[in-house]
Structure 1
Amino acid sequence: MDIAHLRIIHALHQHQTQGLAAAALHLTQSALSHRMKALEHELGIAFWNKQGQRLSLTPAGQELLRLAQRVLPELDVTHQRLKLMADGKAGRLHIAVECLPCAQWLNPALPYFMRDWPDIDVDVVSQYRFSALPALLDYRIDACLTPDQMPHGDLHHEPLFSYRLCLAVGKQHRLATWQTFTAVDLAEETLLTYPVERQRLDVFTQILQPASLEPRHHKTVGDTELMLGMVASQRGVALIPEWLAERSHYKPDICLLPPAGRALDKQLYLVIRQEDRNLVWMNSLLAVLEKHTV
Structure 2
Amino acid sequence: MDIAHLRIIHALHQYQTLGAAAEALCLTQSALSHRMKSLEHEVGIAFWGKQGQRLSLTPAGQELLRLAQRVLPEIEVTRSRLQLMADGRGGRLHIAVECLPCAQWLNPALGAFMREWPDIDVDVVSQYRFSALPALLDYQIDASLTPDRMPHGDLHHEPLFSYPLCLAVGKQHRLAARPSFTALDLAQETLLTYPVERSRLDVFTQILQPAGLEPRHHKAVGDTELMLGMVASGRGVAVIPEWLAERSACRGEVTLLKLAGEALVKQLWLVVRKEDRALAWMEGLFAALGKHVPSAV
Per the shorter chain, which TM-score range?
Answer: over 0.9
Query: 2:76 is matched with which residue?
Result: 76
Letter in 2 for 1:109: A
Question: 1:288 maps to what in 2?
Answer: 288
Check whether the contact 1:128–1:196 (CA below 8 A) recurs between aligned residues. no
Paired with 2:52 and 2:30, the residues of 1 have a C-alpha distance of: 17
| Distance in 2 between residues matched to 1:197 and 1:129, nearest whole Å | 11
1:58 matched residue in structure 2: 58
Alignment partner of 1:135 is 2:126: no
% of aligned pairs identical? 81
Separation in 1, partners of 2:52, 2:65: 22
Match of 1:47 in 2: 47
Q: CA deviation at 1:173?
A: 0.8
2:151 is equivalent to residue 180 of structure 1: no
- Could you give the per-residue CA deviations for residues 148-168 of structure 1, whole angstroms, max 9, x where no partner exists? 001111011000001110000
Alpha-carbon displacement from aligned partner over 1:27-64 (angstroms, at most 9, x marks no partner): 00110011111111222211111122111111111111
Distance 1:116 1:130 in 2: 31
Between 89-98 and 119-128, report the one with greater CA deviation.
119-128
Quick one: which amino acid aligns to residue 273 of structure 2? R
In the other structure, the counterpart of 1:210 is 210
Normalised by the size of structure 1, how large is the TM-score?
0.98
* Residues in 2 aligned to 1:11 and 1:129: alpha-carbon distance in whole angstroms: 47
Q: Confirm or deny that 1:165 pairs with 2:158.
A: no
- Inter-partner Cα distance in structure 2 for 1:42 and 1:138: 39
SS, match of residue 82 in structure 1:
helix
Instruction: Name the SS for the 2:108 alignment partner.
Output: helix
Rounded Cα–Cα distance in structure 1 between residues aligned with 2:128 and 2:107:
16
- Quote the offset at 1:128 in angstroms: 5.0
Q: SS of 1:248's equivalent?
A: coil
CA contact (8 A) 2:158 2:270 kept: yes
Alignment map for 1:66-145 (pairs within 5 Å): 66-127=66-127, 129-145=129-145
Give the SS at the match of 1:263: coil
Structure 1 gaps, min length 5: none
**Is the CA contact 1:137–1:273 (under 8 Å) kept in the aligned structure 2?**
yes
Aligned to 1:150: 150
Normalising to structure 2: TM-score of the pair?
0.97
C-alpha distance in 2, partners of 1:128/1:247? 25
Superposed CA deviations along residues 215-238 of structure 1, whole A, max 9, x for unmatched, are 000011111111111101101000
Structure 1 residue matching 2:160: 3-state secondary structure: strand
Q: CA deviation at 1:127?
A: 2.0
Q: Report the counterpart of residue 253 of structure 1 in structure 2.
A: 253
Partners of 2:46 and 2:179 in 1: CA distance: 87
